[in-house]
Amino acid sequence: MEEYATNKIETFDELVTKHTRRDLEELALKYGLENLGGTKSQLAEYILEAMKKQKEPPKPIPHVSPKEASMIEKPRSAAKPAGFGKKGVLAKANAIDNKAADLKKAGKDIRDEGIREMTKSVKEFHAASNTLSRNMHSEAQKMIEDGQKRFDQAQMQFKRSIDAQIKENSEATARMHSGAREIISSQEKMAREFQKAGKNIRDDGYRNLQNGLAKFQSNLNSQIKENREAVSRLYSGARELQGRAASFHNEIHRYQEQDLKNYVRDFYYG
């Protein structure tokens, strides 16, 4: 407390927030204030005025002759500030000032608490949105990986089917040639029947190949459709979340601009 006289003048907010009432009372006594009543805010105002007066440079003393000096009236001692007391106009005015200061502080506390709560809610909402977005991205990645895995498995199965069909056709052709060599010398008709049978086998193999390709294409198209629908649902969910976030932000803005102001107005002027 001994350093306040040499330090810079503190602001009203600094006096109220950085010091206890006991500190302010000690500081008031240091600046010669005898009235320590009233609220903490009023005491801070009195101290601030005393600090400003002490910082003002002293007025220069004009040069006067001894004769003039004897004629100058000696200044009277400064009157001590009277206390508010418990009755009378000053006491009532002081009580009204105290009540107004308390109401002002209560209103400020209500506004600060409302802003803190809204800020906390917005942060929680953003955190939940980020978590949901990460989860949706993870699920989408899993779906894409699962689709790719199924596609690779289908390709491998198709290749195995083609290889088996080729092997079966090769074995059938080999058996046909073997039988033809055994029979060609004795029965020409049997040779033509074997040739026809070979052609039928090749046609069946071609048809099976076409059917396999068509089935594979159908499965591939179905998988692509499922992936697109999944992506579409993801985008729809993201847009819905963005819409809810915008609506929540507008509601907060409306609450700040209308409900909170109306509440404060009703609180003071009710």
In the chain, what percentage of residues exceed pLDDT 90? 1
Has residue 262 got a pLDDT over 60?
A: yes
Residue 257 CB-half CA count within 13 A: 6
Question: Do 130 and 262 fall within a single domain?
Answer: yes
Domain contains 102? no
Question: For residue 263, what are the domain limits?
Answer: 115-269
DSSP single-letter state for residue 36: -
Has residue 122 got a pLDDT over 80?
A: no
Domain contains 70? no
CB contact set of 252 (below 8 Å; sequence gap of 6+): 118, 121, 122
220 Rama class: left (phi>0) / alpha (psi -120 to 50) / beta: alpha
Q: Which of 56, 75, 91 is the last residue of a domain?
A: 56
Has residue 4 got a pLDDT over 60?
A: no
Total domains in the fold of the chain? 2
pLDDT band of 5, cuts 50, 70, 90? very low
Question: Do 254 and 163 fall within a single domain?
Answer: yes
The pTM is what? Answer: 0.23
Rounded to an integer, what distance in angstroms lies between the CA atom of residue 98 and that of residue 42?
8
Question: Do 135 and 46 fall within a single domain?
Answer: no
Rounded to an integer, what distance in angstroms lies between the CA atom of residue 69 and that of residue 233?
98
| Average confidence (pLDDT) over 171-180 | 79
Domain contains 13? yes
Which pLDDT score, from 0 to 100, does residue 204 have? Answer: 86
Which pLDDT score, from 0 to 100, does residue 61 have? Answer: 53
Has residue 35 got a pLDDT over 60?
A: yes
Which pLDDT score, from 0 to 100, does residue 171 have? Answer: 87
Question: Do 122 and 235 fall within a single domain?
Answer: yes
